[in-house]
Structure 1
Amino acid sequence: MEHNETGHQEESLGALFRRLRLERALDISDISDETRIPPKTVRAIEADDCSDMPAPAFSKGFYSLYAKMLGLDQDEISQRFINEIEPQLNTEFNEKSSPPSITQKQVGTMAARSTVTPGSIIGFSILVIILFFGGISWYAGFNPATHLSKWLRSYYQEPVVETPTTQTSDFDSPTDYLPAADDLTSPETAAVSEADHSPAPAETEFPAFPAEVVPETPPDVKYQLVAEFPQSTTISIGVDEEEKSEIKINGGTIKTWNAKTNIILDLPKESGARLYLNGITIPLPETDTETISISIPEYLLD
């Protein structure tokens, strides 16, 4: 509905806006959400308070947006703003500006040398940072030196290597040389071999799991991948039909994944990870990129 200014000459723009807003049962927040005018500015417009309004150019735009939302003629409101509000805004902004004498004093001190040097600022900032982290460590009972020492010991500690016995046979496929996952943890295998009258199987030495990371293997698992991470890193892994997901690993962590069909692993080249597949150490492939990608069983065919 469009309103004519002729019948409201006795009303100021602010009073007109406020009356029309109340007639429409609108809150100041409704006006602010619709027009993007700050609530403080909406109150200043309705109160005709030029001291809380922004610069004349911005204020004129706000008046126009407010008029458009209330269905008023924007051209008429803009003309009334120029005649009634803009002179007051200009006077208000002129009073807020600094007198020439104050400006001259400020210019006179611009060339003065600062008593605060960059070195003192940097030193003070470092001191504040040290005190801040020291306070956090003291409050949380955290000793950085102890955790750093544990991390260094876990990084340089070599895993204990065991030598399991495996049977030699004719392989039907390149992946048949891998021992079954349940044989890795089954103590009955050696007893059956001794009771049999067939020749004793030849022994082959393979690097095995460290003693502290031997996992419990489910009976239906074909591929069991164990990864030992000496340092914190981020990897991406997908097991069987699952999509690859990104995992953040802390230093000194050992992770185990069990799969029935396949495993796809992406890890940083500099991660230093050690991988064991069904109890056997597998080397990391050489690559010119920053990321190593391993797909099992395809990796075993290369």
Structure 2
Amino acid sequence: METLGGLFRQTRERQRLSLEQIASKTRIQQRHLQALEEEDFASLPAKVFVKGFVRSYARSLGLDEDNALQLFLTTSSDFYDRTQEEQQHIQVTLQAAHRKRFNWNLVVILFLAIGGVLFYLLPWQQETVPLPPESETPEPISGMQDKEILDPTPHIEELPDSVSSESPFDTEIQLTSPPPPDIIPSQLPAEPRPGPTLPVSPVPEKATGIDGTLVLEIEATQLTWVVVQSDDQAPHEALLQPGQKSTWKADKQYLLTLGNAAGVIVRLNGELQGPFGKPGQVVRDIHLKP
């Protein structure tokens, strides 16, 4: 039975084309083209992106795309079935470990809760507060009823004529502090009032990056394979997971290839670009420049 790798290799060699020429024509990395010919599916990205590789490779060689895609599905069925079983086994194992860890955590929490309740309910934790002693009325001292009350006025001797009869101790001393002065409400400091609130105008974003460079941001919302070429440099390839973001810099322009056109959010110097296509659609030669 004819295989996908054999079909691609024989057709390419018959047309006297190199992998480097096919990579330049299809904008697919040379190592991915070689993996397709060797049927090394473990070295390729996700299956949805490999389908786009197969169609592009077949189109560049003049082969029927649907026939090549059907041949790919037949050739790679064993590998992807085995990979799917392994992923399911790993997922089941992780779920079982999570449930086991959750059960142990529940047991520990219940044990601590029961121990805390018992600790506060033990009899030896209850302290007895002694009652205050009853107040006793002091008995009167015997003999005090008949004792006379002495005259509290002290005896003052007469002073000689040379000494003034006025004494500094005769001056009445004012011990109480003077009452505070009345506070007139009009003399109180006025409570500050808040001034008018001025509207805050938003700060506009810069149209260009630092030093005039073009900043490209690609954020994946779905699993997406991207190829980015900055100016005349070699293209860079990346497989972005959902939520992953990558940033590139260039001086003049970018050339993009998206393996899942609706699976990314593209911004050039902060400005949203696109949309570029539908979910799962492979779009090439996307030119981005200011």
Task: Please report the TM-score for the alignment, with normalisation by the length of structure 2.
Answer: 0.31
> TM-score, normalized by length of structure 1?
0.30
Structure with greater helix share of residues: 1
